[in-house]
Structure formats: structure tokens, C-alpha cells
Amino acid sequence: MIVGVDVGTSMTKADAYDDAGRKLASAEQASRLEQFADGRVEQDLEDVVSSVVDVVRRVVADAGQPVRALALTGQGDGLWLRDADGAATRPPISWLDDRAADVVRGWQDDGTVAEVYRRTGVGLFPGCHAPLLTALGRDEPESLERAVVAGYCVDALVQRLTGEITVDASDASLPFLDVVSRTYDEGALAACGLGERRGLLADPAPSGTVFALDRRGAELLGLPEGTPVTGGPFDLPACAVGAGLSTPGDGLLIIGTTLACEVFTDRVDPDEVPDPAGMWLCTPEDGLWLRAMPAMVGTAGLDWLLDFLGVGIDALEDLLAGTGPGAGGVSALPFLAASGERAPFVDTRARGQIEGVTLGTGRGDVVRAVCEGIAYTAKHCFERASSSADAQGRLVACGGGSQSGPWAQIFADVLDRPLEVPDDPGLGTRGAAVTAARALGDDLDPAAWAAPSRTVEPSRDAQGCYADGYLRYRAHVDTARDFWARQAQGFAREQM
């Protein structure tokens, strides 16, 4: 069997699959996410490693079969600095972190963001490598001096378990990689003033690379030394692989902590826009890429609201019952991350809003407005992601939010497209396992490995309401962005 491990932002999951793609056992464990009042968001590498050890040991014990390979995937972006032994030189910085927001704003003003986007197709935001390296170089250069590698979550685990310093091309895509040649763009590094940090970036491993557990990794996991290990792709492309997608035009909607919208394409052509955002990602298959637009907040926005209302996710269906498209005139902008937004636009000042509330507004209307606002954001993201790819193929939805029937219906109605919703929302571990099986030389049957799914058809009755609602949402976004900019200018004048 192959054990797939997906290290998310707040949860680590492991699933064991047999050679036919049947799931044999599952386990999960929460990871700690340290969120500070000043916008810093960090993790503990030892806590993350411990969570992996726990879920792998439990899955192996439950499945009771020999392990052919360990397949790793997990969160992308952020900054995971390590020494030669794989120990953290400082706590890993999450992709949610806000400490480099001022760096990004300066780069937007001086053209650096546009230059990097032109070279690599990546829209810089506070939680990615370039601004984080710059902020640390300014605020705590000693952590960079102690580091041997500036990597990501998945390669941090690969190093700890195999001793190898490496990176998957999907992770390395953010933000310095020329994704066509799979080599770093020295001009992008220079534009960010980070040429001297090039030595911290591991060269991407070729597609299909297989590592092996060393003695330390074997002892941690209780597996034989030499057990094959694959490291990547990271969670966004891993979920696409797990969904069985690969044809240009196929799309994936991940309704998880983040809201990720991605479309497969066989060409890389960064669009000429005044607002660089999103990213082009390498996939395990050469000559095939993902045009991705990962908004900062997906289910996290709904979780926040339900917690604010003092109810749990189990109340969602009842809250939505009795409400209709348009949420009784209530509308929402779901930009709740402290670091602002990264797709379909980059704005470090973005903040959430709820409008149209009256004394007659019910809790269900507000909840529906947030659900609709997140769905409108998905539509906005897909419009940007499809600017260089014809997104008329299959559209699969995964992640915890896809398992809510009423919310999945809202997404289908707003996007006006059928959604294929797998019964198993955790496609990351499946995609990692598929990647490992192919690296081991297996001739996979894609149909056998695909998780059973249902199709959610868009409702014709909601089409007109949501078409108008989306136009209002876009106008609302434009008005809000003007307001955030004016507010920042006013604050700057007050500080003078």
C-alpha cells in the first residue's frame, strides 16, 4: 500500500491506499497555528513533524499491510528556514503571515511586482518567499545567516525523513521559478534585491524523483529504512491530480481553509493586466501547468461567522433553509485574512464587509450572504484563471466546504456550471499517492483511482439572480478597493 500524507495549515491527514486506489485507513491530527496580534502567523516544525509521525503510525497500524511508499504533500508558500540537519533556524512562517505587507506595497508602487509577474507569472503577496525573505533580511538577518535552505512545508518534511535538501517544482514555482524551464529566473531574484539569497534555494527535483527514508526517518515512523518517499506536488496541484484532472481546460475548486481556483493549461502566458495576481504552477507532468488563483479565505470565513453567531458547522443547513438566492438583500465581501487578499487581486489592505443588513435581517440571510460572497470570489478567480486557458472542461469541487449540499448548490448556481463533487473531499493524499505510484512505475487505471462522486447541476431558477448579484459584487469590490486606498492615504497623512 501507499500512505499519502497531507500537511495542511491546521490539520495533518494520512490515508492508506491499496494498489487499486481503495482507501484502507485514515487518520488526522490538528497542528498548532500561532496567530499574533500584529499579523504574524507561525508554526512549530517539531509539532508538524510530530503530527506526521502520529498519523502515519496510526494508519499503518490500522491498515496492517506493508508500505510500498510514503507520499507527501501539504501547504505551499510561507517560509520554512532550516539548517543542514533539517532543524528550523526560526519558527516556520505561514502563508497567512502579514509581516511583509509593507514590502509588497512598496514593490507594487515601484514596479517590482509587475516585473516579477512578467517573468514568472506569480503575483507577489505578503505570505510568499520574496517579501518574507526581504522582511527577515531587514528585521532578523541572523535567522537567514543560520539557514542552509529557505524552503516550504513539504521539503522540510522530506529533509527530516530522508536527509535530502530538495524542493518540488510546484513549490519552487512560487515565486522565482521559470516554470517552463524549471530553473530559477535570476532576473526575478534581482528585481526583489535577493540575488545574494540564491544559495538558500534548492534546485527543483526532476519529475518522478523518489527519495528513501534514512535511519532517522525510519525510526520516527516505524517503517523500514529505505522505504521510498516522494515529496510533492504541494496541495493545490496534488488535489488536481487526486481529482483525476489533466486535460487543458479542466478546473478544480478547492473549498478549504483557503479558496483555490485552478485550471489546467498546456501553455504559459502571463496575462498583461494592471493587477498581477495568482500563479502558474508546475505539475508532475512536463508540459502541463496549472493557472491558479488561490483566494486567502474559503471555509475559514464561514467558520468565523458561525463562531461569531455561537453555532457550529452542523447548523449550516438549517440556517440556509428558508433563505433564497440574494440573501434577502444582504451582501458580503469575504476578505477576512489579516494579510489582505492575494487572488483574484493582491491588496494587503483588503478587509471583509457585510452590507444590506436591517432590523428584519435573519441569521440565515447573513450566513447565506457570506456563502454567496465566497462563491462570487470563486467566479472572479476563475475568470482570471481562464484568461489564458479555455476553462470548458470538467469542474471538480473538493475540500470540506464541498460536502455541504446547500453550499455546493450555491457554487454551482453562481458559477453556472455543473460541479463534480467527490464523496471523499480529501483529494490531496490521493493525488500524492497517485504521484508516488507513477514514480514507482505503476501503470495506473485513472478510473479505478478516482473517488466516487456526485454532480451538482446549476439551477435555472437562480441564474438571473446570481448573474445580477455577481455584477453587484464586482462593483462592490471596486468601490471597496478605492475606499481602502483612500483610507490608507489618510492614515499616512496623519502620521506625517
pLDDT in tens, 376-433: 999 999 999 885 445 578 999 999 999 999 999 999 999 999 999 999 877 999 999 9
Contacts of 380 (CB under 8 A, 6+ apart): 344, 473, 474, 477
Q: What is the pLDDT of residue 110?
A: 96
Q: What is the pLDDT of residue 449?
A: 86
Is omega for the bond preceding 175 within 30 degrees of 0, making it cis?
A: yes
Q: What is the pLDDT of residue 388?
A: 46
Contacts of 111 (CB under 8 A, 6+ apart): none
Q: What is the pLDDT of residue 494?
A: 58
Q: What is the pLDDT of residue 222?
A: 98
DSSP state of 190: H
CA–CA distance from 345 to each of 10, 85, 98, 293 (Å)?
25, 38, 16, 9
| Beta-bridge partners for 12 | 7, 29
pLDDT in tens, 345-359: 999 999 999 999 999
Q: What is the pLDDT of residue 491?
A: 57
Share the mean pLDDT of the chain.
94
Q: What is the pLDDT of residue 444?
A: 86
Going by C-alpha positions, the residue among 354, 222, 278 that lies closest to residue 77 is: 278
* Low-confidence residues in the chain, pLDDT < 50: 388-389
